[in-house]
Structure 1
Amino acid sequence: MDAFYASVEQMDYPKLKGKPVAVGGNRQRGVVAAASYEARKFGVHSAMPSKIAASKCRDLIFVKARFERYRELSHQIREIFFRYTDLVEPLSLDEAYLDVTENKMGISTATEIALDIKKAIKNEVGLTASAGVSINKFLAKIASDYRKPDGLFIIKPHQVLPFIEELPIEKFFGVGKKTAERMHSLNITKGADLQNKSIKELVKHFGKQGRYFFSVSRGEDFRKVNPNRIRKSVGAENTFGISLKTKAEIWDALQPVAEKCWKRYKQSEANAHSITLKIKFDDFKQITRSKTFEEAINSAYMFDQGLESLMDSFEMKEPVRLVGCSLSNFEITNKVNEHGQLTLRF
């Protein structure tokens, strides 16, 4: 989806259309969860401290996130996907992989399916989406970001290697800012440079990730679209307008966050064995404390007691701007289905 949270706000509140919008935070504090394309022109982006975002765009409009609304629309969009294939692997509320090798509509090309889906989302939901079509997850992911917003980009089999050779290293999925800097120090600036490195060299400099870079630089990604992708954790957090200065204040502020986390946990029907407490200070330094139990966490009382013991384990060094908690280390109760990949015309 294109700037999903911000686009939803602009759709639901027409007065925001065409204006720079940031979802989350306010002009003084907080973090931007999503930015409209009008805001992105000023350099505003997700995960940016809202105070910095406000300094970049004087007319930036901050709106509160409405995750229930985003989930509602995400479900509606996902139902559109299921008309074409059951092999849908959600990555988040606004993004998913689809394997359309064998599609329910009997459509002969993947490009036509992508166009149909984009049209259905626009007509039925009122939002624009961008699609990437290619032979594997790595390439489809890159293609989906290539012509945003409202884009469609296809990388056909014979185009794969020439496309990767010219692809800037920053565009490789999995290459963050620090990794990109390290690659530049090794004179790796685009895909062709990666292709010239041996697997031994890449593993030496990037560890296990080096094997991944070696494979994808050659267009190889054999991961299957997994419709039963196992969720690894559930959590919740909150950033405060006024920093918390005592442990008592933190504990009080943690209660509604913990309630939200527990509600999501019960809805997930998972059995977790670990509890994690997250604390972020005014200087943006962050600590986490975790506790693992031999038995599954099966009551709100057990969760509450675990959080209380974790609260006792950290020192109050300076005011706190964010608290969060999560449940993880889930029991695996069923096996993931695997599906073979066939040949589909583009």
Structure 2
Amino acid sequence: MLDATPFRRQAQPARPPLEAEAAPETPARRVRKIIHVDMDAFFASVEQRDDPSLRGRPVAVGGARARGVVAAASYEARAFGVRSAMPSVTALRKCPDLVFVKPRFDVYKSVSREIRAIFSEHASLVEPLSLDEAYLDVTENLTGAPSATRIAEEIRAKIFARTGLTASAGVSYNKFLAKLASDHKKPDGLFVVPPARGEAFVEPLPVARLHGVGPATEARMKRLGIETVADLKALPLGLLQERFGKAGAYYYGIARAIDERPVRPDRIRKSLGTESTFFEDLHGFEAMRLALLPILDKLWRQAQALGVSGRTVTLKAKTADFRIFSRSRSRSEPVPERAALEAESLALLRPLLTEAASPLRRGVRLLGVTLGALSGPDLRPAPRQLDLGLS
């Protein structure tokens, strides 16, 4: 049986295939072979590759201005605690020698196309998640290779040979585990989670490692005594659904390393959004405006990283009594810049607060912004709609 151990490009001794690859198939259920590939500190690594003076130095891609935000950080910067989405002033306090470079999204997109071309040499089922990561279903692959582990090794080697960049990969029998595995031995690592070890692999993990568990949900879980995935697994489905609604069934499944989502190569993203739940309710326009700024920063970075733009802006607000309100506005052309996204969002927020007897005046516990009617190099242009002003 193959142990779940990391692999590096530098050492490639002969090894047995992933257990999922050796296990016999049954008509009732076929074990899939899923690879998740994630580039290592992608934006920052491209900058260090192209500028030798940056190699070995702490680098942040983003703006060093007062309201700047770190879009990506090199591993040298991460050693000081610098992370993406961190305000630039905070990053500089943590690492006074931090070097800021302006993002070059045209270059990142070009490198991403090279990487996707490598994926297409091995699999027809490729689901890109962003410029620097993707899922591949290699159960049936284009090279006829019986081992997903070998395919992952070949992909990583090709990426390094053609781009000079390193990638980490996770191999397992579903998307959830493959993504966790790719992050397990970063940077420049390969980690395998066979079917027999899926549940044992996730049980000791803190619940914060699970996709969909943000700070607010983590805090709720901890109040219930849920610290690890093993704690989550110990709770019955009914209780999880009672406490977490529709997400309860999702938590129940992943606590048992179950994820039936297929790799979708034809998935067309229709919208892109982000939101934050606050530990204390927000009151007043200015408090909500300030809370929206990091949300908008994150959304704009995601749109740039994916190479997409959108014409429809949707603002979402959840009140202290859990009622949800949303307002949308569509433009004739895509939102051109971050400042315009902010202006559209605030224009949607202000009327919600000025309406007579507005429920938002009692407090807001969540705010979110979505960019819709997306278009981009990998998307079909969204059809135009009349600007109705409301969702």
So what's the TM-score if we normalise by structure 2?
0.65
> Counterpart of 2:155?
117
1:107 aligns with 2:152: no
Partner residue of 1:140 out of 172, 178, 181: 178
How many pairs are equivalent?
Answer: 280
Q: Deviations over 1:24-46 (max 9, x none)?
A: 11053311100000000111000
Q: Could you say if the C-alpha distance between residues 67 and 197 of structure 1 is closer, same or farther in structure 2, counting changes exceeding 3 Å?
A: same
CA distance in 2: counterparts of 1:228 and 1:126, whole angstroms: 29
Q: Could you say if the C-alpha distance between residues 315 and 169 of structure 1 is closer, same or farther in structure 2, counting changes exceeding 3 Å?
A: closer
> Counterpart of 1:213?
251
Q: Is the Cα contact below 8 Å between 1:22 and 1:61 reproduced in 2?
A: yes
1:24 aligns with 2:69: no
> Counterpart of 2:204?
166
> Counterpart of 2:75?
37
Q: Deviations over 1:296-336 (max 9, x none)?
A: x7x54999xx99988766659xxxxxxx9944389x99xxx
Q: Deviations over 1:132-185 (max 9, x none)?
A: 000101000100100000011100011111112222222222222222222222
Output aligned runs, 1:65-214, within 5 Å.
Answer: 65-214=103-252
CA distance in 1: counterparts of 2:41 and 2:252, whole angstroms: 31
1:200 deviates by 1.3
Give the secondary structure class of the aligned counterpart of 2:128.
strand
Q: Could you say if the C-alpha distance between residues 215 and 325 of structure 1 is closer, same or farther in structure 2, counting changes exceeding 3 Å?
A: closer
> Counterpart of 2:373?
328
1:234 deviates by 6.9
CA distance in 2: counterparts of 1:84 and 1:93, whole angstroms: 18
Give the secondary structure class of the aligned counterpart of 1:90.
strand
Segments of 4+ moved more than 2 angstroms: 274-278, 299-303, 306-316, 324-330
Paired residue type of 1:132: G
Q: Is the Cα contact below 8 Å between 1:289 and 1:310 reproduced in 2?
A: no
Give the secondary structure class of the aligned counterpart of 2:252.
helix
Q: Is the Cα contact below 8 Å between 1:87 and 1:98 reproduced in 2?
A: yes
> Counterpart of 2:95?
57
Give the secondary structure class of the aligned counterpart of 2:143.
coil
CA distance in 1: counterparts of 2:334 and 2:146, whole angstroms: 55
Paired residue type of 1:190: T
CA distance in 1: counterparts of 2:374 and 2:155, whole angstroms: 35
Give the secondary structure class of the aligned counterpart of 2:48.
helix
Instruction: Structure 2 unaligned segments of length 5 or more: list them.
Output: 1-38, 274-299, 317-325, 352-368, 381-391
Percent identity (aligned): 52
Instruction: Structure 1 unaligned segments of length 5 or more: list them.
Output: 236-256, 279-287, 317-323, 334-346
Q: Is the Cα contact below 8 Å between 2:171 and 2:178 reproduced in 1?
A: yes
Paired residue type of 2:257: G
Instruction: Between 101-110 and 226-235, report the one with greater CA deviation.
Output: 226-235
**Root-mean-square deviation (CA), in Å?**
3.4
So what's the TM-score if we normalise by structure 1?
0.72
